[in-house]
Amino acid sequence: KFTPRVFSGIQPSGNLTLGNYLGALKRFAAKQDEGVETIYCLVDLHAITVWQEPEALKRQTREAAAAFIASGVDPSKSILFNQSQVSAHAEMAWLLNCVARLGWMNRMTQFKDKVAGKNAENASLGLYAYPSLMAADILVYHATMVPVGEDQKQHVELTRDIAAKFNHDYGTEFFPSPEPLIEGTATRVMSLKDGTKKMSKSDPADASRINLTDDADTIAKKFKRAVSDPEPLPESAEGLTGRAEAKNLVNIYAALADVTQEQVLAEFGGKGWGVFKPALADLAVAKLSPISTEMARLRDDPAEIDRILGRGAEQARAIAQPILERAKDIMGM
């Protein structure tokens, strides 16, 4: 009954990383060639759940749009827009705030991770409510598929719970139950400095991540200094068990080269990190340098980015607004 439709988003909250590229952007571009409608969003309303310098947020929003386009998201094939330009997201979020239960929000591990070691009482209400805004982002398009990294799985499951409760409470089949698409070897790229943390643009340590804008020397240096262990690479994937750092570097190679862990280890098994890390750096530079070059070109043409985002917002509104109106009508408004 629901048209297959893909929705996903990325926060314009700083430098996009190799984790965002492999876990999200690369897969977003691949989806648009599979014959389904694809809708991609720079989620600035999510970004402001933690403090953002206004000027920096403006710059980062254009920069993130450039990263989408440079990674292969084609604005003539996909809808690419900025969340705050489509007010249906915030409106739908309020409707869903009244459907979601406090107990469900209390179970969200991302909120707990983000306030860990800080005074949770001082977190914004928006940071706490973030998952119901994400549910609104998805449901206001009746999206059926959500390509995300492993870290977002719980939020997509919450979206399904909210959709089901709305449908149940109002006795309708109005919302679809969207599927998280968590695919490939890079669903959770880890920090280069700490194999237990995910690579994130919000990690203060720049050496922990590869930024899409890093130059070749920086990329080579970061991989050279990445944590590994004293053993050579194993001959097969089972040998990666219990070796988080080794597994992470092998996964990054596999995802960049579009091959399996086994194929990487067939080539590098038994070799040392002194061989593997430079090969990984070369591969990363080969894959990322066309992206950073294109991002630099787009950075010089902000008017073009604004035009693309403006057009994307119009297309997004045309889908979201009628769905929002119907949701309000179902609720008696």
Q: Give the catalytic positions in this structure.
A: 114, 198, 201
43-72 binders of ligand ADP (CB under 6 A): none
198 contributes a contact to ligand ADP by CB under 6 A: yes
Residue 109 interacts with ligand ADP (CB under 6 A)? no
Dist CA 37 CA 253 (whole Å): 30
Token couple for 331: 């609720």
Of 11, 32, 52, 248, the one binding ligand ADP (CB under 6 A) is 11
Handedness of CA 184, 185, 190, 192 (dihedral sign): negative
Q: Taking CB under 6 A as the rule, does residue 199 contact ligand ADP? A: yes
CB of 250 to ligand ADP, least distance (A): 15
Contact with ligand ADP (CB under 6 A): which of 3, 109, 202, 263? 202
193 is annotated as contributing to ligand binding: no
**CA-closest candidate to residue 140, choices 319, 19, 332:** 319
- Minimum CB–partner distance for residue 178 and ligand ADP (Å): 14
| Pair type for strands 79-82 and 37-42 | parallel
Please tell me the count of residues contacting ligand ADP according to CB under 6 A.
Answer: 21
CA 66, CA 82: separation in Å to the nearest integer?
Answer: 12
**Least distance between ligand ADP and beta carbon 283 (Å):** 17
Closest to 149 in 3D by CA, of 11, 320, 24: 24
Q: What contacts 34, CB < 8 A, 6 or more positions away? A: none
Identify the residue among 41, 73, 79, 148 touching ligand ADP (CB under 6 A).
148
Question: Is there binding between residue 313 and ligand ADP (CB under 6 A)?
Answer: no
- Please tell me whether residue 149 binds ligand ADP under the rule CB under 6 A: yes
Binding residues for ATP: 11-13, 19-20, 149-151, 189, 198-202
